[in-house]
Amino acid sequence: MHARHVLVSSVFLFFVVALCTVVLPPPRWPRSTSFFQPSWLPPLNRRERDDSADAHPPCDYSDGRWVRDDAADVTTYTEDCPFLDPGFRCTRNGRTDSSFRHWRWRPRRCDLPKFNATDMLERSRDGRIVFAGDSIGRNQWESMVCMLAAAVPAASSSRVYERSGKPISRHKGYLAMVFADYNLSVEYYRAPMIVMVHRFPAANNATAGSVRGGVRLDALPRHADRWAAADVLVLNSGHWWNQHKTVKAGNYFMVGDRLNKTMDIKEAFQRSLQTVKDWELSSAQLSESYFFFRSFSPSHYSNGTWNTGGSCAGQREPPTTNNGRSEEEYSWMNAMIAKMTEDIKSHGRKARFLNITHMTELRPDGHPAGHREPGTPPDAPEDCSHWCLPGVPDVWNQILYAHLLSAGYGTRRNQR
C-alpha cells in the first residue's frame, strides 16, 4: 500500500511539472539597446497621456519601419511652398525621381497620429514655436512652416509672412514666420553649437594652428533670451561637434575667459548640455513650455566624407537595417542628450528627448546629393547631410506633434 501511494504521488508530481513546463513561457528579457536601435518597451496603451498616473509608458515612436505609400496625401505640401530654401527643392534642382516622398514611418507598438495642421495652428494660437540649432534644425523648421502653411486657404496666403520681410535663406541667422490669423510665430535661430561662439580678430588668424574662435561652453548665444518665451522650444546640435569644425578649424573650447586647447570634444559637449540644462531650469518663462532636444540626424556619405568625394547619389529606397556606422560614431552624443532631457523632466518640466536617429539612419535616399541650389559649382561636394523637402523632416515634425498631443499641448491656452 505504501509503495503504491509513493508511485501515485510521483506520477502526480511529474504531471504538475510537465504542465508548468508547457504552459508557462520562458522569461523575456529586454534585448540590448542603444539610441539608434530603439529600446524594448512593454505593451502600450495607445490612448495614454504622459502625465496620467495609471498610463503605460509613452509610445516609443522611434521603434518602427518605413513603409511604401503612394497615396497623394503622403506629403502635406509640395515644393511650391514659398518658404523653402532653394537647396531643399530637389526635384526642381534636377532630381528625376520622387520616390523619397512616398514613405511613411510606422511604429511597431502604437499608432503615429497623422499631422493635422489646422489642429496644430489652433493649439498654437497666440503662441510661439521656436527652433534653435544648426542648419539641419533649419531644415526641420522649414518643414514645419510649410506643413502649417498648407492648412491656410489660398485667399489668406498673404497672411503668412516673414516678420522682417527677409527671404528664406540658409545665410540668415534669424527668421520668424508669422501666421497672422492665429497670432502665431514659428521661428528659427541659428546656433550650430547651441552655446555661444566667439570670433576673434583676423590678426590672430595669420598662422596655421592659430586660434580663430572660442566655443563658450558656459554661455548660450545672445539671442537665447528670445527662446525663453517660446511655448514649444525645439533644440538641436551635433554636426559641428567634431574635430574638423572645432580644433582643426582653430575653434577651441572656453569656460569663462579661459581658452582650453586640450579639452576632449565629449567633455565639451557634456558641459554645453549642462549649460542648457541650468538655463532651462532657472528660467521662469520656460516653466510651462514644452522643451524638446532632437537627437542626431545621420549623414550618409559613402566612399569618402563630405570634403573627400563622399556620395549618396543613386539611393532610391530605405534599407531595412542600418550598418551601425553612425551608432558607433555618435551614440555617446544621443546618450548625453537623453540624460539631460530626463534630468530636466525630473524637475517637473515638460521636457522630452526627440529621438529620430534610427529612422533617419534608414533614409539615405532623402538627401539632395548633387541636386543642390541653383548656382552651386558642378564640382561642389554632394549634400548628404541636409534633407529634400517635402521629405524626412516632415516625419520628425509628425512625431513632435504626436508628443504634443499626448502631453495635452494647447489646453493651457484654451483655458485662458
Q: Percent of the chain scored above 70 by pLDDT?
A: 80
- Is residue 312 within 8 A of residue 367, CB to CB? The reply is yes
3-state secondary structure (DSSP) of residue 254: strand
Grid coordinates representing 228 are 525663453
Chain-centre distance of CA 26, in angstroms? Answer: 37
Residues in Cβ contact with 387 at an 8 Å cutoff, skipping those fewer than 6 apart: 88, 136, 139, 297, 366, 367, 368, 393
| pLDDT digit string, tens, across residues 2-42 | 444 444 444 444 444 444 444 444 433 333 344 445 443 33
Beta strands in 191-255 (DSSP E): 196-199, 213-216, 232-235, 251-255
Predicted local distance difference test score (pLDDT) of residue 201: 79
135 assigned to active site? yes
Kindly state the average pLDDT of the residues 238-256. 93
What is the distance between the alpha carbons of residues 391 and 19, in angstroms, rounded to a whole number? 54
One-character DSSP codes across 209-221 = T---EEEETT---
Grid coordinates representing 317 are 529606397
Predicted local distance difference test score (pLDDT) of residue 15: 44
Predicted local distance difference test score (pLDDT) of residue 200: 86
198 assigned to active site? no
Q: 52-414: which CATH topology?
A: Rossmann fold (3.40.50)
Spot the catalytic one: 300, 371, 386, 403.
386
What is the distance between the alpha carbons of residues 150 and 80, in angstroms, rounded to a whole number? 10
Q: Would the pLDDT of 346 be above 90?
A: yes
Kindly state the average pLDDT of the residues 255-276. 96
In degrees and rounded to multiples of 5, residue 216 shows phi and psi of -80, 100
Alpha helices in 102-254 (DSSP H): 117-123, 135-149, 224-227
Which range among 11-15, 78-82, 230-234 shows the weakest confidence by mean pLDDT? 11-15
What is the distance between the alpha carbons of residues 99 and 388, in angstroms, rounded to a whole number? 11
Predicted local distance difference test score (pLDDT) of residue 205: 53
- One-letter amino acid identity for 369? A
Predicted local distance difference test score (pLDDT) of residue 8: 42
What is the distance between the alpha carbons of residues 179 and 188, in angstroms, rounded to a whole number? 14
Give the pLDDT band (50/70/90) at residue 168.
confident
Q: Tell me the whole-structure pTM to 2 decimals.
A: 0.85
Sequence spans of domains, the chain: 52-414
Q: What is the mean pLDDT of the chain?
A: 84
User: How buried is residue 274: exposed, middle or buried, by Cβ count under 10 Å (0-12/13-18/19+)?
Assistant: middle
| Dihedral over alpha carbons 189, 192, 197, 200 (to 10 degrees) | -110
326 assigned to active site? no
Q: Percent of the chain scored above 90 by pLDDT?
A: 66
Spot the catalytic one: 34, 39, 99, 135.
135
User: How buried is residue 157: exposed, middle or buried, by Cβ count under 10 Å (0-12/13-18/19+)?
Assistant: exposed
58 or 377, which is more confident: 377
Chain-centre distance of CA 293, in angstroms? Answer: 7
Give the pLDDT band (50/70/90) at residue 255.
very high
Q: Would the pLDDT of 137 be above 60?
A: yes
What is the distance between the alpha carbons of residues 363 and 94, in angstroms, rounded to a whole number? 19
Q: Would the pLDDT of 89 be above 90?
A: yes
Spot the catalytic one: 383, 385, 394, 403.
383
Angle at 238 between CA 111 and CA 147, to 5 degrees: 45
| pLDDT digit string, tens, across residues 292-345 | 999 999 999 998 888 788 999 988 888 877 665 556 678 999 999 999 999 999
49 or 37, which is more confident: 37
- Is residue 36 within 8 A of residue 326, CB to CB? The reply is yes
Kindly state the average pLDDT of the residues 255-275. 96
